Amino acid sequence: MTHRRAPAALLAPLALLATALPATAQDAAAPAAKEARIPFPSSVRDFRAEGDDVIYLRAGRQWYRGTFFAPCQGLPWAARIAFKPSPGIGGIDRHASIIVPRDGECHLDSLVKIDGDPPEKAKKPAKTKG
């Protein structure tokens, strides 16, 4: 009979530990940034690329950080970009796309406001001569 009670006695502390873990994981998680929207694509006056994964857009004095579902090929070398606004509501948000000439459409996954300017590693594309 003691053999049947021993596993139950060992499982009780494990059950308590298992119920405590989700609360700890939630406390450690950083709060998600609030998604933003640029109402008019024509208000975007500047952009910077951080590799092919991140784009910074400036509308007025405010900078926004956008990430993509997949790498946006050609973005680091693009001298200009275009926008495909969000279906239905227009504007640029997480449902919009960035069009890189000669390289195609890149779907945004997230767009959030940032404080200040983009980081130094976000480069402004070189201007083409001509």
* End-to-end CA separation in angstroms for the chain: 90
Q: pTM of the entire structure? A: 0.72
What was the pLDDT predicted at 24?
A: 44
Q: How far is CA 69 from CA 4, 34, 95, 97, 125, in A?
A: 52, 18, 11, 10, 22
Closest of 93, 87, 88 to residue 57, by C-alpha: 93
Q: How many CA atoms lie within 13 A of 95 on its CB side?
A: 8
SS3 percent helix, strand, coil of the chain, rounded to 5, is 25, 30, 45
Q: What's the rounded Cα separation, in Å, for the pair 60 and 95?
A: 21
pLDDT tens, per residue, the chain with 130 residues: 555 555 555 545 545 444 444 444 444 555 667 999 999 999 999 999 999 999 999 999 999 999 999 999 999 999 999 999 998 888 999 999 999 999 999 999 999 999 999 998 887 766 655 5
